Chains A and B, each alone.
Chain A
Amino acid sequence: MPSPQPSSDPFEIPRPAQVPAIELIGVRKVFRRRERAHGRFSPRRRVAALDGVSFRVERGETVAVLGQNGSGKSTLVRVLSTLLLPDGGTARVFGHDVLTQPAVVRRLVNRVSVEASFFKKMSAAENLSYAARFHGLTSGRTRAGIPEILERVGFPADRRSEPMENLSRGMQQKVALARALLTAPVLLLLDEPTTGLDPRSKREVQAFVKEMRAMHDATILLCTHDLDEAEALADRIGVLDRGRLLVLGTVDELNRRYGAQTLEVAFFAATGREFGEETDPDDDREVFA
């Protein structure tokens, strides 16, 4: 494994090669929520969004987590980005515990989620600019860097100063990718980055993720419910179902394990359910996407 860090840098965050990029040991996250159908005074129900999830992702790997709506993918991403505190277990990013060293973890991680989250009246350039500042980048570095990175993700130069609300979903998602890349995360968390995109934007975003993979030292965790996307982009694929990681391996390993010819069949064998069947009856896609 190449050492991407100039070893002369005395301040670097230690990320020894033998330490996995992601290490989860029995991570649990339980939410208490009211059932909508039963009105506002109904008793709260406990939902185990993550139910003892353990796995490792090596540095430089791209791992896809496949799961239906409500299987716990976003919860997993939020735990790794220090936005949700796990109720039990341990989660580490390059050896740094998300609970006890969140500040270090935040410097290593960035994320693209299903909804492009931006100040809608502000332009792409403005949104990227302030976000870069939050990661310690001066305007001297972003002045040239932002146009460059927007160009790399295929964002048209003449629309940089247009309010984000005028841009298509696909275009916004490219800006979201640019925002994540701008901070050069060593762990990139992609949470359904292509869900809801038109086929062309979807292909473009996927092509870009592929290019990212080729980059030195970038580790990618891709959460998706798109089987083809997982197969096309990931080295290994895990199946998450109702908060439990049922299996994690290469496509071949998965197929062999379940005696399946295709990933779809393997998924069915692992979860006991047809792909595309809803597991989460709650009408909360918008809220918890």
Chain B
Amino acid sequence: MDAILQQFFNWGVMAQALPLLLKGLGMTLLICAVVIPLGALGGLLAALASTAQARALRWSAIAFVDLFRALPPLVLLIFIYAGLPFAGLRLSPFAAVTIAFFLNNSAYFAEIFRAGLLSVPKGQAEAALSTGLTPAQTLIWVRLPQATRNVLPDLLSNVVEIVKLTSLASVVSLGEMLHAADLVRSVTYNASPLILAAGLYLLLLWPLVRLIGRFERRIAG
């Protein structure tokens, strides 16, 4: 029993690891701060393209979404980081992570926004257009607010997924939280830093997960 505590809940090791883990958490949050807005924007554009009149545009958007939803994000990341240099394109770990997660998340956001936009009755846009709003104004003031509200739990779930996804960045040695924790583990020969990292992820995501549950209940009820 003592050995287990010593190995997993060693407060001394945890205290030692904390500064590095917090620095890693900073990187985790930085990746999120870049990938979430970009992914949401890319997803929105892909969603709009996938419902466009022009067939070429529609099909390219659908192909984009299908490809990056089917491709495992880890495969994508390693390909961009370790594969592209064979084509002469060498990217920093941060750039590789950002691009890979951006592509992956745009595809997921696209599917969510697409469902949201389709959930808004056609009459809404018609009413807006009939009062002289441009199609862009109709999107911004009438369709998007309703679309977003209709899929809010899905959007937030995707945000949670992105935060979890950032831990993959450890494979390209980007110093986000998991990488930091694993580094300390390898130096101290002790698993406590990993427990600490898990606790910090939980602390970060649990409120969000709770919030999603509340939204889902409100929509269901």
Do A and B form a real pair?
no
Interface set of A (CB-CB < 8 Å, partner B): none
B contacts, CB < 8 Å to A: none
